[in-house]
Each structure stands twice: as structure tokens, then as C-alpha cells.
A and B are shown apart, each in its own frame.
Chain A
Amino acid sequence: MISDRVKASLKREFYQSRAAQVGLALVVIITLMAVFAPMIAPHDPTTQRVGTGDTAELTDLPPISPVPGHEFVGTREQSIVNETTGEFRNVQVEVPANASHPLGTNERGQDILSRVIYGARVSMLVGILGAALAAIVGVPYGLVAGYFGGRLDDGLMRIGDVMLAFPSLVLAIALIGVFRDSGFHTTDLPDPFVAAAQADAIPNILIPRSGHVATMPEATTFPVTVTLVVALVNWVWFARIARGEALSIRAEEYVTAARGLGASNTTILRQHILPNAITPIIVLATIQVAFIILLEASLSFLGFSGTNLTWGADIQQGRNGLSSGKWWVSTMPGLAIVLAVVGVNLLGDWLRDALDPGIQGESGGV
């Protein structure tokens, strides 16, 4: 499917463009982080350390400063009880940073670095699956509309125009409002690494840090509704691009030739139109992944995703601490979102420049 010419062009652009290298590196790092989260994360991201039971209190720890001697210092309110009189007073005590929590902890004592690493799972999964679903619906829809043209095209694209009458976030919020009470709002995806480490199925030597992995969460909560909804509000962009491509490709001589040789419409669509329309679709899909990551973050910030272990939800959680000096709780997951989206956007620019300098990447999508 990928011709040598395309490969050469991708390679050339990649070696020339520093931006493309940075983008690919970011996306690879974040994807690896998402896949191998149980091995990389230093702590269980859900464990609360509020000082009850056998856990020590480790709430609101500030992160470690990258510059030694300039440690970030957090404060926490504590009661000091006089041993003889029983009187107590509340004082602000300074909290030292803790090397085992490099990005600090939140008000429940959960490790922020671990939560950022696990948060990548939901973001990347929703981003990629959402864009893929949107493409699966939108591309055939647009190809059929553009290829057959006429009344069918008019009808199909009018339906698309109706979808575009809603700003995507507004439609997404309304649809989630409808579906979030249903049984499939979220589903638990078991973590294969944790399951393997616990069951001793594979020799533990094959799983790095298997003892540590076995203590990690057994499942990741995956927001099904959010994924379906982001696909539902974005498929139209794929339909529009695919239609435009099909409209121009169907006039090509090789399509006329194929028809003259007796090829059926299905064959022509599959063997001639789709392969020649695929480049702009791939570029759009990349931009859409970036857009969907942002959309998912917005939805989970608003509390609509049904899971707490996402970047957006963590930003919401740290919001109250902003005015009382606990700046790190919201800042860290936000930086993760920015890095992920910058990476995907740079990747999109690279693909666009290498594959098809003719498309206006900024205008499609979003």
C-alpha cells in the first residue's frame, strides 16, 4: 500500500525537519508510557495515602525541584496538641519534597507522576480509537457520496451539514448527558501485564519489575461513551475530505478505463478510489487524534468521562488548590496534554509536508 516513492519522501522530510523528529519522539515516548504504565509508574496511581490504616500521610507533597537548592516547599495545616493541657492550635507546617514522588502528590496522597503515566492510557486510546472509528464511518460515506454524485451526494452531504450545525463540544456534551446513565458508559479493560505478573503465567523474568507490576491496578477504566461520542461528532470531517477526493479521482482516466473493462462500482471504489484518496485521509486522521485528545480532556475536566484516572479529571481535581499554593496538581497533567498534542500535531505536519504539500492541513479537521 505504501509505495517506495512515499517512503523516500517521508524519510527525506524526516531527516530534514527537526520538528518531525521531536514530534515522533514525543508520540513514541507517550505511547510507550501508556502501554507499559504498570512497569514505569513508581506507585499505584489509585492508592490514597491520607494517614489512615497502614499508610503514612503523604498528601500535598510538592514536586522535587530540578535545580538543587531551590526546592519547592508546600505547606499543610496541622494541629499541635499540648500534651498536658490537651489544648491544640493549628499551624502551617512546611512539607518537604519526597524523592519517591518526583512530581509530588495530590490532596489524597496519590502520586502525580504515576497518575500522569496512567492518564496517557485513556488519552491515547480515546484519541486513536475515536479517530479510527470516525474514519471508518466517514470515509466510506464520503467516498460513496463523491463517487456516485448527483442526488445521492446532495442527500448524504446535507445530512453531514446538519451534523456540522452543532459545535462539536456542545453536541458531545449533550450526547454524553443522554448516554452516561446507560450500562456501557465505561468498561474495565484488564491490564495484561498485571494479570500475567499476578498469575505467574509467564516466567517473571520476562516481565520487568514483576513484583511491582503485580501490585498495580488490575484494570483500566475505559470511557466507552466518550469514545463513541467523539467519533460521532467528528466523522463528518472524514466524509468531507473523502468526498472531495472521490469527486476528483472519479474523473481520472484510469477510473474510466476500469469501468470500460467492466469493473463493478465496489471494485472501483476499493481498488482505485480509496488507495488514491488515502494520503489526505491519513493526514486528517493525525490532526483528528490531536483534536480528540483535547476534546477528551475537556470532557473529563467537566466530569463527563466516567473515570478519574485521566489528565482532564486530574486538572479539575487540582483546581481548588491553585489559590492556596498547591500549583503542581493541575500543572503536571496539563503539561502532559500539551506535550502529547504538540507531538501529534508535529507528526501531522510531517506527514502533510511529506505526503501531500497541496493540502491545507490547518483548514481540515477540528
Chain B
Amino acid sequence: MQYGRFLLRRVVHSVFVIWGAATVVFMLRFLTPGDPVTALAPPDAGDEVRAALERRLGLDDPIHIQYFDYITDLMVGDFGKSMEVLDRSVLDWIFWTRFLRSVELAISATVVAIVIAIPLGVISARRRHTVSDYSATLFSLGGISTPNFWLGLMLILLIAVPVGFIPTGTPGPLLHEAVGDLLAGDPGTLGDWLRFMLLPAITLGTYFTALLTRLTRSGMLEEIGKAYVKATRAKGLPETLTMYRHVLRNTLIPIVTILGLQLGTLIGGAIITETVFEWNGLGQLLIERINARDWTMIQGIVIIIAIGFVTINTIVDLLYAYLDPRVMDE
């Protein structure tokens, strides 16, 4: 019952936040210098042409009608049309593969981070003040202090160039294609996928790895001091089991929320990583559309990213409250 109410409140709140975000994005249009009709119309266009264009773009309505239309369009999944290529809708332009590419990159980076950071954090906490602890601490300090675009370029310089394979320019295969080929008996596509994914995933994942190592270490240190650890040790549970089954589990719960909040950094980082590796995803499209001053496309991409971000955060919060019901009281 209580969880049901929490769930309802959390969902209502996120709907409100998305509505607010949509309103902010709608207002961006009025901050942009110059009006879109002048930008689109040929220089010698008469009033009639201009009026027709204005009608086409839906700018002849009063603002509150435009706002109402914008919000209702969003509710039915219509994110607007490009201003540069008329009648091309935002969703057409983003198309599914671009979206998948960005999501694959983000998930791979997260996997890299989890696989490296959690053992590193645990080792660092267990062997406090040893060489391995200091190396892990140094690594995580470097990781949170290195701009990921520079890291990407350095990886290209130090790994890709000597190896002779630079994963930029042509986009690699998508994971579902690779898995499909693997099931059909051809592992080559999966190899290609890995080759293209490796450096971008490390580039994007390093900041997260560093952050997660830091959080795991400090969380473990705090948790190790608690009484129940002494109890599990006293009853003779092997140390490794104590660490992974009890201490790490309790450490991870609060970390999940922080990582949810840090997701924004991951999305932002993905934009930069996509630029460095010419990765054909959402982020690269956003940069390209900004440079083309295609405001409606920019609005569409920004609101799609915001909706995704808010939705994932809400899911993380709901999971967290399910695992640890104490947070519902806060």
C-alpha cells in the first residue's frame, strides 16, 4: 500500500518535471535571435510567401495556442518537424539506428565501469593504505579529472594509430545485427562490433569507473566498521564472502541513486564521445543541428533526451525504494 502511494507520487512528479522541461524547451524558441520565417524565406520573398511559410510552420497562431499545440503534439509522440528540411519530422531524422547507437554506447560504458570499478573499489577498501589502494585512488582521481574528449584522442593516438585501426568515420554494426549473425554462425560481425565499441566505451566509461571506484571504496570503508561485519566474521564466514555478500551489497544500495543522478554526465559525455569517434548517434545529430541552427530539431532532440533521463531516474528511484523501503519516508 505504502509502496503503491510512493510509486504514484513519483510518477506524477516525473510527469510534472517532463511537462516543465517541455515548457522550458518551448520557451527556447522565443529566446532565439531572428525569426524562422526570415531565415527560411528567399531574400526577395513577398508578404504572401512569408505568410504562407508562417502558416506552414504554425507560427500564425497566438502563443498560447502554439503552446497548447506543442504540448498536445508531444503527448501523442509528435516531436515536431525540422526547420531546415521542411516536412521532415524529428523522429524521422533521429531514426531508430541513431537512437540505438547512442544507447548501446551508454550501456557499454556503464558495463565497463561496473566491471572495473566494483572489484577495484573493494580491493582498495580491503587493503587500505597499501600500494594497490594508492594506485586505485590515484586512478580514480585521474579519471574524474580527465576530460573524456581528450582521453578519447589519446586512446586513438596511443592505441588505434599504432594498431592501425581507427574506429571513426564508418559506423560499425549494431549489436542486434552482430548477435543475429552470430546465431547464424558468423562471429565476424560481433568482432567488428567489439572493435568499434572498445575505445568509445572506455572513453565514455572512464569517468564513471573512477567515480564508482571512489564511491565503492568510501562506502565499503564506512560499512566495514559496522557491528554486523564483526558478527559475520565471528561466526566464521570466510572474509571474501563477508565482503561480497554483506558489505558490498549494503554499499551498493546508496550508490545506485548517485549513479542515477550522474546519468546526466553520462549522456553529456556520450555527446562528446560521439563527436570524437564520429559515432553516428543522437549526440552527433544534436551538434550538427545546432550548427545548422535548426531550432525545431534541437528542441525535439533536447526534449527526447530529457524524457529519457527523467524516466530512467524515476525507474532507479522506484527500484531503490523497493530494495530499501526506508527512503520512502524521506
Contacts and interface: CB of A to CB of B under 8 A. Distances in A.
Nearest to A183: B33
Interface in A145-172: 158-159, 161-162, 164-171
B227 interface: no
B80 interface: no
B33 A182 contact: yes
A312 interface: yes
Contacts of A167: 263-268, 305, 309
Interface in A338-366: 338, 341-342, 345-346, 360, 362-363, 366
B153 interface: yes
Interface size class of A (residues with CB under 8 A): 35 or more
Given A342-B141, A362-B214, A174 B271 contact: no
Interface in A272-329: 290, 294, 297-298, 301-302, 312, 315, 319, 322-323, 327
A161 B147 contact: no
A327 B155 CA distance: 12
Q: Is the interface of A mostly helix, strand, loop or mixed?
A: helix
A322 B267 contact: no
B28 A174 contact: yes
Contacts of B153: 315, 319, 322, 330, 334
A178 interface: yes
A170 B302 contact: yes
A247 to B, nearest CB: 11
Nearest to A366: B265
B76 interface: no
A161 B305 contact: no
Contacts of A323: 156, 161, 166
Contacts of B21: 162, 165-166
Interface size class of B (residues with CB under 8 A): 35 or more
Contact of B268 (A159, A169, A360, A363): A169
Given A177-B290, A297-B147, A327-B157, A165 B215 contact: no
A263 B123 CA distance: 53
Contact of A170 (B16, B154, B305): B305
A165 B17 CA distance: 7
Given A173-B287, A323-B161, A330-B153, A166 B34 contact: no
Listed from nearest, the 7 A-B pairs whose CB atoms lie closest are A169-B268, A162-B20, A167-B264, A334-B150, A341-B145, A165-B21, A167-B267
Interface of B: 13, 16-18, 20-21, 23-24, 28, 31-34, 141-142, 144-147, 149-150, 153-154, 156-157, 161, 166, 211, 214-215, 218, 258, 261-269, 271-272, 275, 286-287, 290, 293, 298, 302, 305-306, 309-310
30 contacts: A158-B20, A161-B20, A164-B261, A165-B310, A166-B264, A166-B309, A168-B268, A169-B269, A170-B268, A170-B271, A176-B290, A179-B31, A181-B34, A290-B145, A297-B147, A297-B150, A301-B149, A301-B150, A312-B149, A322-B156, A322-B157, A323-B166, A334-B147, A334-B150, A337-B147, A341-B146, A342-B145, A345-B144, A362-B258, A363-B215
